Amino acid sequence: MDNLIWIFISALLVNNFVLAYFLGLCPFLGVSSKLETSFRLGLATTFVLIITALCSWFLNTYVLTHAPYLRLISFIVVIASTVQFIEMAIKKLSPALFQSLGIFLPLITTNCAILGLAIFATNRGYGLWEGLTFALGAGAGFTLAMVLMAGMREEAEIGSVPALVRGTAFNLIISGILSMAFMGFAGLFSST
């Protein structure tokens, strides 16, 4: 149990997927202009991450022990098609949920955070529960980073930022400062 809590906190704060591993930067820089949208994208990503953890555990345990060189290809194909199926199911079963999450699902599948999670979980030899906790922590960390970033960008819209700096350059510098702040959480681990 203790182990699971540490995996969660590590993925959430210390080794935040966006700010420490640079995974999922495309949505982080591209879609983070509104607080509301960022939060919903974060939730949808968390959902896909959990599905990914299940898929990669299944593949690693039952399929890839026979053919490890197919790992990358099978991860991508299986995850993408599972997400497609789930998207169809959500559309059919709950149009309201589809409205808030569904439009993001196909985009998220090509996000490197998804594949990154599967690869990291495999490299570290996580089991099913560890993998699920890792996915939950990574998803929560991604949502946290997205929401913080969107909040700052909304504020900066009103501020007097020179025209030359506006855009990606500005967002990258903000992310750098945010990432520096998150480095402080590394102290959490040295005490144990």
What residue ranges bind other proteins (CB under 8 A)?
19-26, 29, 69, 71-73, 76-77, 80, 110-112, 114-116, 119-120, 123, 164-165, 167-173, 175-177, 179-180, 183
Contact status, residue 53 vs residue 131, Cβ threshold 8 Å: yes
How far apart, in whole angstroms, are the C-alpha atoms of residue 141 and residue 117?
13
Residue among 24 and 102 whose Cβ is closer to other proteins: 24
Residue among 5 and 177 whose Cβ is closer to other proteins: 177
Residue among 5 and 172 whose Cβ is closer to other proteins: 172
Residue among 42 and 116 whose Cβ is closer to other proteins: 116
Q: Is the C-alpha dihedral spanning 73, 127, 145, 105 positive or negative?
A: positive
Residue among 29 and 100 whose Cβ is closer to other proteins: 29
DSSP states of 83-142: HHHHHHHHHHH-HHHHHHHGGGHHHHHT-HHHHHHHHHHHHTT--HHHHHHHHHHHHHHH
- The DSSP output letter for 160 is -
Q: Token pair of 16, please?
A: 């935040």
Residue among 71 and 91 whose Cβ is closer to other proteins: 71
If you count them, how many residues does the chain have?
Answer: 192
- Minimum CB separation of residue 71 from other proteins in Å reads 8
- Minimum CB separation of residue 145 from other proteins in Å reads 12
The residue with tokens 């855009």 is 167
Contact status, residue 146 vs residue 28, Cβ threshold 8 Å: yes
